[in-house]
Amino acid sequence: MDQKKRTEIASLGQFGLIDLLTRDFSAKNASTVKGVGDDAAVIAPARGEAVLCTTDSFYEGVDFDLTYFPLKHLGYKVVTAGISDILAMNALPAQITVSLGVSAKLPVEALQDLYEGIAFACNEQGVDLVGGDTRASMTGLVVTVTTLGHAKKDKVVYRTGAGQNDLICITGNLGAAYMGLQLLEREKRVLADVENPEPQFKGYEYLLGKYLKPRPRTDIVEALAAEKIVPTAMIDLSDGLASDLMQICKSSACGARIYLERIPIARQTTALAEEMHADPVVAALNGGEDYELLFTVPLSMQEQIMKSGLVDVIGHITPASTGCYLVTPDGQDIKLKAQGFPDPA
């Protein structure tokens, strides 16, 4: 960030800051009756539609590191996280609120960068910013995003509907976001005492993009609707394939078999994992923050889902008594564990 220009937050005051950060946002959705500027937003969904609501909080030092996380990218990513939760219910996003806990170390210009990323994501996804709050923080930057979405009541998909022999489908590839984080953490450690650091990212730009600026899979939900495919269960991949699949199995009272050779892993993910002496399969299973969609469809839809070219079919649902397993190419069953990865030190 340009250090030559620094406007202290205190010089604007709370309401002046809110006015500055939200002045370029305008409503695009018919369901947004009143957005920013009153005591509460007013939302009016269409007849027969359900309103969905989800909230995510992101803490500096826990969920992101401003040493290497550009604030514009952070703004985009926090919107993506909320939108992804709505998409995982087979719904489309419509409104968000953003609340900040801000430490005195950040100038107004930094928050403008954050909101530039938020605005870019909102414009890209057709989402309205309809409110929020700003407060002082003693522990660094905190961003809380509440996302509202809508869908026909009979089209909402839960985690509870997976049935015997349903196909397990995923969008995109897995493990890239986690390996992008590992690359950033490695360069931070290596260059900690270097006066003019030059991080080595060449050849791994895709991984950085997957971690710093993941795109929500709105395209998949829209494509499924166009194909008249309604999943039986769905979840977004924010905690890792193993953990999120087990969430579906727990909610649907079922087991699962997924096949190692069917899990899509990007070449850059494999290359960096090998360079760092890590296992790309472990990254794919437990990495998290891919924000892809994991869902199930009836076996009778196999031909239709395969023809669509939208997803990879990686396994099938089994009885609860059989548990959740990864099957290797030589036929070995490895029990899935919802371990996730620890936060980087």
Question: What confidence tier does 149 reach under pLDDT thresholds 50, 70, 90?
Answer: very high
Please tell me whether 275 is known to bind a ligand: no
- pLDDT value of position 10: 64
Tell whether the torsion through CA atoms of 116, 118, 122 and 124 is positive or negative.
positive
Please tell me whether 154 is known to bind a ligand: no
Helices 71-87 and 108-125 meet at what angle, rounded to 10? Answer: 40
- pLDDT value of position 289: 95
Domain extents in the chain? 9-155, 167-335
> pLDDT tens for residues 14-62?
666 666 666 677 778 888 888 777 778 898 888 889 999 999 999 999 9
- pLDDT value of position 143: 97
Rounded Cα gap, residues 99 and 66, in angstroms = 18
Rounded Cα gap, residues 96 and 113, in angstroms = 18
Of 129, 151, 291, the residue nearest 217 (C-alpha): 291
Q: How many CB atoms lie within 10 A of CB 339?
A: 12
pLDDT of 4 over the 60 cut: no
- pLDDT value of position 17: 66
Q: SS3 for 127?
A: coil
Please tell me whether 166 is known to bind a ligand: no
Please tell me whether 312 is known to bind a ligand: no
Please tell me whether 133 is known to bind a ligand: yes
Please tell me whether 80 is known to bind a ligand: no
Please tell me whether 54 is known to bind a ligand: yes
Rounded Cα gap, residues 194 and 73, in angstroms = 25
Question: What confidence tier does 240 reach under pLDDT thresholds 50, 70, 90?
Answer: very high
Whole-model pTM: value is 0.90
Alpha helices in 11-55 (DSSP H): 13-22
Please tell me whether 113 is known to bind a ligand: no
Region 239-246 average pLDDT: 96
* CATH for the stretch 9-155: 3.30.1330.10
What does pLDDT average to over the chain? 91
- pLDDT value of position 2: 47
* Phi, psi for residue 201 in degrees, rounded to 5: -115, -5
Instruction: Work out whether strand 324-327 and strand 292-297 pair parallel, antiparallel, or are unpaired.
Output: unpaired
Please tell me whether 279 is known to bind a ligand: no
* CATH for the stretch 167-335: 3.90.650.10
Please tell me whether 330 is known to bind a ligand: no
Please tell me whether 267 is known to bind a ligand: no
- pLDDT value of position 343: 44
Question: What confidence tier does 344 reach under pLDDT thresholds 50, 70, 90?
Answer: very low
> pLDDT tens for residues 132-146?
888 889 889 999 999
Question: What confidence tier does 341 reach under pLDDT thresholds 50, 70, 90?
Answer: very low
Rounded Cα gap, residues 331 and 136, in angstroms = 56
